[in-house]
Structure 1
Amino acid sequence: MNKLITYILAFILIFSLTANKAEAKNVPPKISADGVVLMDATTGSILYSKNQDSKYPPASTTKIMTALLALENCKLDDIVKIGKKPPFVEGSRIGILEGEKLSVKDLLYGLLLQSGNDCAQALAEHISGSIDTFSELMNKRALELGCQNTNFVNPHGLYDAAHRTSAMDLALILKELSKHKEFKEIATTTMYYIEPTNKSKEKRPIWNKNRLIQPNSEYYYEGCEGGKTGYTVQSKHSYVSVASKNGQRLIAVLLHDSERTYWSDVRKLFDYGFDNFSLETFYLEGDHLTEYTINDNIKIPLLASENFYYVKNSSSNEVPTLKINNKDLSEKSFKRGDNILTASILYKDKRIGTLNLASGIDYSSKKPLFNFSEKFNFNMIKSFLLKILKFTSILLILAIIMLRIRKKIRDKKRRKRKEKIREKIYMSKYKNFK
C-alpha cells in the first residue's frame, strides 16, 4: 500500500513539473532592457515586444546602419584613403592612420567585430564626404525601411542628445542588413587580420566581441548569424542579433539595459521564439488559388505572384484565409502572368498582408461581331440581323456615293471631249474661210 502511494505521489510530482515546464516554455521571458523586440525576419511579424517604439540612444548598435549603407554603396575591395579626422575619433578604435589605404572589407570587419568608431567615420566620409551628409543618408534610408522613431547624427553611436532610435526601428534595419550574405560572413568570424598597409608593416588582429558566436563561450548560441553590442554611460547597454533555426530567422533587439544581462536575455528570447513559433508557407509563386469569371462564361485562373509566408503559434491550429479584392475586369486586356487582382490575407481575424494575383491565361476585352458560344435565342438572332442590316446599309450608301462620283467624273470627261471636237470643227471652218 505504501509503495502504491509512493508511485502515485511520484507520478503527480513528475506530471506537475512537466506541466509547469511546458507552461513556462510558452511564457515570454523577463528581459531587463527597456526597449525590446523579437521579430520574424521573413514576415516582419513581432513575436514579443516591450516599449518597441520608445526612443533611446542606441550607442554602437548604430553601426548596423553604417554597415548596411557600406554594403549597399560600396564594393568590398574598394580602397578607402583615411582622412585627418577618423584616427582621432573618441571611443573604441582599431588604430587606423591618416593617409592609410584600407579596403571597405577591412573597415567593415573593424566596424562590426571590434566596434571601431574610426572605421565608422572612415566609411561615412568615403561614402558621403562628411559626417553630416552621411547622417542625412542614414535617416533617408531609415525612412525607406519604415523607421518612424529614428534620428541619426553620426555613424558610430557616440552619445548625442539628438541621436535616437527605437527597438522596432533597429529590428527593421537589421532585417534588411541580414539579407546581405556578406554580413553573416563578417559577423560570424571570430578573428580577422588586417594585412600590412602603406602605413603599417604589421598585421592587425581584430577579434569578435559577440559572445553568441564564440564556440567556447557560455553564451554561445548555435544558429547565431551575427550581432552588435553597444554601450555609453548615457545609452546604457544595448545589443542586436539575428539567428536561424529550422528554416526560420529571428531578430532580437535589446535597448537601454542597465543590468547588462543582454547575453543571457537574448538567448532566452531566441529560445522563446523558436520554441513557440514556426514559419509556415501559405502559398508559393505560381500556385493556383481560384478562378475569376468574366461575363458569366470566361474563367480566368488566378495564380500567386509570389511566395507568401506566415508565422504560426505552436498552440494554434488556425490557418490564414484569402479574401480577393474584386474589381471589374471585363473591359481589360492582359497576358498570362500579369498581375490583375490583389487579395488580403487574414489570420486570426487580422490582416497580415496582401498577395498579388496573376492571370493564368491571355485575355482580350475585344468582342467579335457575334459570339456563337453564347446562348442561341431569338433576341440574339434579331440583334445579329440588325448588325448585318446596319453593315449592309453602310456598304450600300458607300456604293451609291461611289457611283455618283464615278458618274460625275465620266460626265466631266464627256464634256471635255465634246468641247475639243467643237474646237477642231471651228478651227477647220476658220481656215477654209480665210
Structure 2
Amino acid sequence: MFRFKNYLKRAAALLGAAALLVSSPIQTFAALSSTGSVVSSVDTSSTTWPSAPDVSAGSCILIDADTGSILYEKNAYEKCYPASTTKILTGLLTIENCSMSDIVTFSKEAVESVNITEDANLGTKEGEQYTVEQALYGMLLYSANEIAYGLAEHVAGDLESFVDMMNAKASEVGALNTHFANASGLFDQNHYTTAYDMAMIARACYNNATFVSIDSTYTTYTIPATNKTDTARTFKHRHKMLYGREYYYEYCKGGKTGFTDESQYTLVTFAEKDGMRLICVTFQEPDDASRFVDTKALFEWGFENFTKTTTSSSNISSLLTNDTIYTSDVFTSRALNYNLTASFITIPNSGSSSDVTVAIDDNYDLTNDNGDLTVHLKYLFGENVVGTTTLTISSNDSTNTSLLPYLEESDSSSNYTAKKCLRINLWILLGVIAFAIILAFVIKNYNSNSRRRRRHASKRKLRF
C-alpha cells in the first residue's frame, strides 16, 4: 500500500509536469511537420480574404511592416530587376556601419561608374568629400549612383566586399531569391530580387529610425560647397507621393523609386496610419504614373480592410497544441529554456484571432552552433500569412553540444521532421489518474473496515 501511495504521488507530479508541457511552446518541434502543416485544428473553410484592387504592376506585394502579414501579392516571388530601389539596402548598411559625421572621399572608380548624361548623379568629382549624412541624402533622395558606389567603398573598402555584405544582409532579413551585383541597382543580369524579398529588405529599413528620418524628407536638401565644388547642390526626393508632389498621399512616409529599360518602373513605399505601418513594393510597372497610382490604391485597401491585433502567450500556446502532451528524451534528459517572440497579427476586419492557425515557415533556420534550435513560424488565416514569429529552444546542460539529434533529417534539403514522441490524450490520462485515486481510496476504506471488524470480533471472543 505504501508503494502504491508513492506511485500516486509520482503520477501526480508527472501530471503537473505534463500540464506545463501542454501550455509550453517547447512542443513546437514535436507538433509541427517538415512540410509546414497547420498545427491547430481550427476550421478555416469559412475564412474569406478581402478583394483587392486591380493593379498594372507585373509583380507587387503589400505587407504589414510590424507583423510581416502579407495582405496582397501578385507574382511576388518571381525574379525581377530592382533598379534603384536597391539603394535602400545600401543606405541601411551604411547607417549600420558608419557615423553620420564620417568623411567619404570619392575614388576615380566611383566617379566613373556612371554615365554622366544618362544615369542619376550629382556630378561628384574624384577626390571630392561629403559627410556620410550628406551622401545618404544624395543617394536616397536624389538617387545619385556614384554616391552609392562611394559609400560602398567607404563601408567595405571595395565594391566587391560591399556586395558580399549586401547579399548576406538580404538573406539575414528574409530574402529568398536575391542576388545583388552592385550598390546602385544599375542593370546587371546577376543583380535581381523579388517583390517579396524587397519587402523584407524594406521592412528592415523601415525599422531603422535614422533611415526613416532621412528617407521621409519631403523638403529640399542642400549639400554645401565642398573641397572640389564651389557651388551648393540642392535637390529633393524623387518619390511623388510625398507632400507637395503630384501623387501626394498623406500617409506616405517615404520610399525609393527606380527605373532601367530592363526593370521598367519600380517603387518601394512606406506608409503609416492609425498605428498600422504598411510597405508596398511594385515592380515591372509600365509607366511612371502607374507605380504611384497602384501603390496608393493598395495602401487605401490595406488600411480600410485590415486590423492589427495582439496575441498573448496563452493564445500562442493554444495554437501550438490543443489536447496532447509529448514525452521524449528531449524533455526528460535536458534542462530546456525557450523564447517565443510574437505579439501581433494582421487579419481582415471581418475575421477573428480564433480563425488563425500556425505552421513552420518554409524559409526557417535550424541551427545548433551553441546547442540551440531556431525555427521561424508563420500564422495563417486560411492560406494567407498574417504574422510571423521566431521560436528558439536552448539547453542549460553544459554537456549538450547539440540538440539536433532530437530531430531526424528527412532529406538533403532544409526540411526536418520531429523525433517521434509518445503522444497521450490529456483527458484519458486525467481519467486514468482519477480512477487510480478512487480505486486507492476504495481499497484504503475496505482495508480499514476489515481491520475494525477483526478487532471487534477479537474483543467479543475475549469477553466470552
TM-score range, shorter chain: 0.5 to 0.7
Compute the TM-score of the two structures, normalised by the length of structure 2: 0.61
Name the counterpart of 1:273: 302
Give the secondary-structure state (helix, strand or coil) at the position aligned to 2:61.
Answer: strand
Change (3 A) 1:206 1:308: same
Secondary structure of 2:311's match?
A: strand
Judge conservation of contact 1:107–1:123 (CA < 8 Å) in 2: yes
Q: Percent identity?
A: 36
Which of the numbers 210, 221, 226 marks the counterpart of 2:254?
226
Distance 1:140 1:315 in 2: 39
For residues 63-212 of structure 1, what are the structure 2 equivalents within 5 Å?
A: 63-90=87-114, 91-190=119-218, 191-212=220-241
**C-alpha distance in 1, partners of 2:205/2:139?**
14
| Greater Rg by CA | 1
**Structure 2 spans left out of the alignment, 5+ residues:** 1-48, 326-336, 359-371, 394-436, 442-464
Q: CA RMSD in A?
A: 3.7
Which of 291, 304, 320 aligns to 1:262? It is: 291
How far apart are residue 194 of structure 1 and its match? 0.7
Q: Which of 68, 85, 93 matches 1:44?
A: 68
Distance 1:288-1:102 versus aligned 2 partners, 3 A rule: same
The alpha-carbon distance between structure 1 residues 177 and 355, as it changes in their structure 2 partners (threshold 3 A), is closer
Amino acid at match of 2:163: S
Classify 1:344/1:55 alpha carbon distance in 2 versus 1 (closer, same or farther; 3 Å): closer
2:64 aligned with 1:27, yes or no?
A: no
The C-alpha deviation readout for 1:242-282, integer Å capped at 9, x for no partner, is 11111111110011112331011100010011111111112
Query: Cα distance 1:356–1:159, how it changes in 2: closer, same or farther (>3 A)?
Result: closer
Gaps in structure 1 of 5+ consecutive residues: 1-24, 294-301, 324-338, 359-374, 379-434
1:311 to 342, 346, 370: 346
Give, in whole Å, the separation in 1 of the partners of 2:187 and 2:95. Answer: 25
Inter-CA distance 314–159: structure 2 relative to 1 (3 Å threshold):
same
Per-residue Cα deviation, 1:20-48 (whole angstroms, up to 9, x for no partner) = xxxxx943111111110101111111110
> Using the alignment, how far apart are the partners of 1:288 and 1:37 within structure 2?
30
Amino acid at match of 1:311: T
Partners of 1:204 and 1:66 lie apart in 2 by: 22
| Deviation, structure 1 residue 202 | 2.3
Instruction: Give, in angstroms, the shift of residue 165 of structure 1.
Output: 0.8
Q: Which SS does the other structure have where 1:212 is aligned?
A: coil
Q: Check whether the contact 1:78–1:104 (CA below 8 A) recurs between aligned residues.
A: yes
Change (3 A) 1:104 1:135: same
Q: C-alpha separation between the residues in 2 aligned to 1:124 and 1:276?
A: 41
TM-score by length of 1: 0.65
The aligned length equals 318
Q: State the partner residue of 2:280.
A: 252
Structure 2 CA distance for aligned equivalents of residues 252 and 50 of structure 1? 12
Deviation track 1:325-367 (CA, whole Å, cap 9, x = no partner) reads xxxxxxxxxxxxxx9xx99886546785457699xxxxxxxxx
Q: Letter of the 2:352 partner, please give it.
A: N
CA 347–140 in structure 1, closer or farther in 2 if over 3 Å, else same? closer
Rounded to whole Å, the distance in 2 between the matches of 1:83 and 1:281 is 50
2:90 and 2:148 in contact (8 A); partners too = yes
